[in-house]
Amino acid sequence: MNYNTEILTADSSSIRKAAELIKKGKVVGMPTETVYGLAANALDESAVSGIFAAKGRPQDNPLIVHISCIGMLDGLVTAVPETAVKCAEKFWPGPLTMILPKTDKIPMATSGGLDTVGIRMPSNKTARALIDACGLPLAAPSANLSGSPSPTSARHVYDDMNGRIPCILDDGRCAVGIESTVISFEGDSIRLLRPGFISVSDLKEVTENVIVDKGVLDIVSQDAVVASPGMKYKHYSPKADVIIIDGSLDSFRKYVSDNKVEGTWCMTFSESDLSGIDCPAVVYGSTDEEQARRIFNALRELDKHGAKKVFARCPGKTGIGLAVYNRLLRAAGFQVIRL
């Protein structure tokens, strides 16, 4: 790992170049509609070990495998439950990952030692063209260093991966901004393991039986056996100490003016949230969709400003807001002040 990392505008020639690197077992930065990923041949154990090395990721945290058409599922999974077929029809290509029983073709390194694999068909055109150009399923976790906020631009990937990978395909800012919804299947129920842009109410259009896993909103202990290993790890953390303030705008303003110290920043919905209060803020938007698009950039901005303590306004907890809240909770190490 000592590359002169290139940022390449995603066009047909750079996609071909990236595909050649992947076919040789290398890891490249790949845009998707959710967040940027670190892509490698999902079927090649040594290529996959390159992903874990570049990210500094624990070996037991499994990778999502990306495909570009339904035909690619053949040979990767041993069964597709009826509910999963319906989800694929409704939400693919798009920001949904389904956990399915894997075949031996998927190495244990890819699945983190599990006998299941997460499969996703992205909608981003560059991602799909890259998978097609490789003719391979691509394993890709979010392209951040393990523990830092997910990257939503090629620049974010560069900031974390410079020197660690040969190139990044730049396709601008990610349209969704938070990682895919992750689900598994139990009989005809869907278990939500990680909330995302595909919301609980979207999933309920497929089946009424949607179970929200306890790990979505609760702290999971380090030695727990969990449905999704990613739940265990500290995530999305900026260097600052983030605290979620759950209450009205008035109570937020009062809390900030009573408690701010040197190095305090805020994460607000709009510029005017702090009018009259002398505290700097990074704005992350006022709708669920906008907050999803901007949350990870906001967390990275706070680090750039050298924020020490961050008071964050609490997102809504339903629809896509649940996904934003889930990410912010992890960034805050589950510190919430309810006013």
Residues near ligand TXA, by CB under 6 A:
32, 34-35, 37, 61-64, 95, 97, 99, 111, 114, 116-118, 120, 140-142, 179-180, 182, 193-194, 228-230
Q: Does 199 bind Mg ion (CB under 5 A)?
A: no
Q: Considering beta carbons, is residue 229 or 321 the nearer one to ligand TXA?
A: 229
Nearer Cβ to ligand TXA (117/320): 117
Residues 138-157 that bind Mg ion (CB under 5 A): 142
Task: Give least dist CB 302 to ligand TXA, A.
Answer: 21
Of residues 99 through 128, those in contact with Mg ion by CB under 5 A are: none
Pairing of strands 116-120, 96-101: antiparallel
Task: Identify which of residues 140 and 245 has a Cβ nearer to ligand TXA in the complex.
Answer: 140
Rounded alpha-carbon distances, angstroms, from residue 15 to 9, 125, 171, 320: 9, 11, 11, 31
State which residue has the least CB distance to ligand TXA.
Answer: 230
Q: Which residues pair with 51 in a beta bridge?
A: none
What is the closest distance, in whole angstroms, from the C-beta atom of residue 204 to ligand TXA in the complex?
Answer: 21
What, of ligand TXA, Mg ion, none, does residue 97 touch, CB below 5 to 8 Å by kind? ligand TXA
Nearer to ligand TXA, 80 or 114 (CB): 114
C-alpha separations of 185 from 191, 232, 318 in Å: 6, 20, 22
E-strand ranges in 218-304 read 241-246, 264-268, 281-283
State how far the Cα of 140 lies from the Cα of 63, in Å rounded to an integer. Answer: 6
Greatest Cα pair distance, the chain, in angstroms, is: 61
Least distance to ligand TXA from the beta carbon of 201, Å? 20
Give yes or no for a contact between 73 and 87, defined as CB atoms under 8 angstroms apart.
no
Which residue number, 123 or 259, has a Cβ lying nearer to ligand TXA? 123
Whole-angstrom Cα distance, residue 194 to residue 217? 10
61 touches, from Mg ion, ligand TXA, none (C-beta below 5 to 8 Å by class): ligand TXA
Binder of residue 8, out of Mg ion, ligand TXA, none (CB less than 5 to 8 A by kind): none
Q: How far is the CB of 141 from Mg ion (least distance, A)?
A: 5
Closest distance to ligand TXA from the beta carbon of 31 (Å): 9
49 CB-near residues (< 8 Å, 6+ apart): 109
Work out how close the CB of 140 gets to ligand TXA at its nearest, in angstroms, rounded to a whole number: 5
Q: Residue 66, Cα to own-chain centre: how many angstroms?
A: 14
Stretch that binds Mg ion, among 21-29, 58-66, 105-113, 136-144 (CB under 5 A): 136-144
Which is nearest to 95 in space by CA: 240, 205, 203? 203
Alpha helices in 106-195 (DSSP H): 108-111, 125-134, 154-161
C-alpha 119/C-alpha 99 separation (Å) is: 6
In the bound state with ligand TXA, the residue whose beta carbon lies nearer, of 243 and 331, is 331
In angstroms, what is the minimal distance from the CB of 151 to ligand TXA? 9
Strand partners, 181: 96
Adjacent-strand bridge partners of 245: 313, 337
Task: Tell me how far apart the alpha carbons of residues 135 and 63 are, in angstroms, rounded to a whole number.
Answer: 19
Residue type, 5: T
Residues 61-90 that bind Mg ion (CB under 5 A): none
Contact 100, 27 (CB under 8 A): no
Contact (CB, 8 A) for 7 and 158:
yes
Establish if 14 lies at the interface with Mg ion (CB under 5 A): no
Please identify, using beta-carbon distances, which residue of 166 and 311 lies nearer to ligand TXA. Answer: 166
CB of 235 to Mg ion, least distance (A): 7
Q: With CB cut-offs between 5 and 8 Å by kind, which of ligand TXA, Mg ion, none does residue 83 bind?
A: none
Q: Which residues bind Mg ion (CB under 5 A)?
A: 142
